[in-house]
Structure 1
Amino acid sequence: MAGNGSSDLIDPSIFEYLKAHGEEELEVGDKLHHITSALNRHISTCQGFLSRIHSTPSSKLLPLLKQVEEDGIKPEIESVGELAQFASNYPYYKYNNRWSRSIQNVVGTILLTGWLGGLGTESRPGELGRLLTIEEVGQLLKVPVNLKDRDAFHITIEEYILALTDITEELSRLAMNSVTLGDIDLTVRISSFIKDLFAGFQLLNLKNDIVRKRVDAVKYHVKKVEDVIYDLSLRNLIPKHEPSS
């Protein structure tokens, strides 16, 4: 029979270990929440600036893109740097779900800004229609991409692809608004780009269900813009490019 109800069968250190690690996880979670909250505020600011592209002709985009870079993307880069430094102290796949959507949004703002002609450098000036690679995005954010050799913060291929689907949706909206602004040439360029992008997606072997569904949805954005192009063609509003001699 048991004496005073205590037992020597369970080592008290087991619960001391669980308590200590539980408290550490709470502290890590609180710190990540603080960092990602600040990052999400910068993302919202950047997206707010970018929303103005829908009422700005492409010929007047440069000042807006400079503001996006200075007041939107630079603060994002600083927050991502803080996140990367802290998160790399802990197992990546244990916590990455806490910031993955935010990183996807950051990459989306960078890709959209780059496509519109922003984020140029001396060696490679910005140009309309330029799609930044995942490596270029990583260089801009000063973080590694698609890491396989160590457990640290990085940008994943899936985050990059999901960001591409985001900008496809945004560009399809811009294509229609550009017609209203009389910028038919931009609508045509967007149509060509998202069709090429969708064709590229078809070459990928997508195993993640979320990524596959988001990529499948791109065809609706393509169809939406194709309908706009068809309507413009019927009205003979598509710019005719003279063949080179």
Structure 2
Amino acid sequence: MPSTDGSDAPLSPTIHVLEKQFEEFRHQLDDSGSLRDRIRSVSFEIESATRLMHSSLMLVHQSRPLPEVLEKAKGQIDVLRGLFSKLAEIMRECPGQYYRYHGDWRSETQAVVSVLAFMHYLETESLLLHAKAEEKLGLNPSEFGLDTEDYLTGICFMSNDLPRYVVNRVTAGDYDCPRKVLAFLTDLHAAFRMLNLRNDFLRKKFDGMKYDLRKVEEVHYDVKIRGLATNAESKVDGEKS
């Protein structure tokens, strides 16, 4: 059999082995590329839905009625549930490969958690727990769950919205808002300090929470110094007694 370079020398058996191996690699890479394209297509839709939710929630900074703001944002939650269900279906085709492809939806998931957590705070003045976030997105932790670091990073992103929220609430005459948000962020920051954070990105986001806390603290002290919070805090103290 002639060689590939035109000579009459027979092909080395090694060549056949290499060709077979690299042909298998080609199929694997083609399949992986096709899978990534499908994942990225769904991730793009998740990003679009999240952007719509965030745009709706930003109306809260314009002192729009809270029920109106939340109702519009909540309209996208079912959309997100359907999209995460699509992701789960895709990943069922490659069991055990969650973290191989996880990077293709990581940032979108973090943004989703941030928006859901901000909505939850506006409704309840409390933290959206990890299990509750999974429930809202229709995720099954035994099959396709919410990565812990994605959840934590999303919560850090959520804290970035609180200083602006506080300033606008004070401008609208809600002088007790800084006290409530300060208490919430203080507890949240203390909870994060329980973690031994080794992820550089998550650590950086957590460090940013300190600045959010400081900004809210400054607004709270300013309101107190001006005597604007006196009536609101007196009312709270009276309710507790």
TM over 0.5: yes
Gapped regions of structure 1 (runs ≥ 5)? 118-127
Match of 2:201 in 1: 210
| 1:99 equivalent among 94, 100, 105 | 105
- Helix, strand or coil at the partner of 2:139: coil
| 1:44 equivalent among 38, 42, 51 | 51
When the two structures are aligned, how many residues end up with a matched partner? Answer: 227
Match of 1:121 in 2: none
Match of 1:129 in 2: 125
State the AA in 2 paired with 1:98: D
Q: TM-score, normalised by structure 1?
A: 0.86
- Helix, strand or coil at the partner of 1:184: coil
Runs of 4+ in 1 over 6 A off after TM superposition: none
Match of 1:15 in 2: 22
State the AA in 1 paired with 2:167: M
State the AA in 2 paired with 1:106: V
Q: TM-score, normalised by structure 2?
A: 0.88
C-alpha deviation, 1:192, in angstroms? 1.2
C-alpha deviation, 1:110, in angstroms? 1.2
* Residue identity (%): 26
Aligned equivalents of 2:134, 2:33: Cα separation in 1: 29
Match of 1:226 in 2: 217
Contact map agreement 1:171 1:190 (CA 8 A) in 2: yes
C-alpha deviation, 1:220, in angstroms? 0.6
Deviation string for 1:34-89 (max 9, x for gaps)? 111111111111111111111126xx20122112112x222122111111221232
Match of 2:180 in 1: 189
| 1:138 equivalent among 134, 139, 142 | 134
Contact map agreement 1:43 1:106 (CA 8 A) in 2: yes
Between Structure 1 and Structure 2, whose CA radius of gyration is higher?
Answer: 2
C-alpha deviation, 1:5, in angstroms? 7.0
C-alpha RMSD of matched pairs (Å): 1.9
Aligned equivalents of 2:226, 2:10: Cα separation in 1: 89
Contact map agreement 1:175 1:191 (CA 8 A) in 2: no
C-alpha deviation, 1:187, in angstroms? 2.4
Aligned equivalents of 2:200, 2:213: Cα separation in 1: 21
State the AA in 2 paired with 1:156: D
Deviation string for 1:149-187 (max 9, x for gaps)? xxx532111111111111111112211111111122222
Aligned equivalents of 2:210, 2:109: Cα separation in 1: 24
C-alpha deviation, 1:222, in angstroms? 0.5
State the AA in 2 paired with 1:100: R
| 1:114 equivalent among 113, 120, 127 | 120
Gapped regions of structure 2 (runs ≥ 5)? none
Aligned equivalents of 2:99, 2:8: Cα separation in 1: 46
Deviation string for 1:201-223 (max 9, x for gaps)? 11112121211121111111101
Is 1:6 the equivalent of 2:11?
A: yes
Is 1:78 the equivalent of 2:85?
A: no
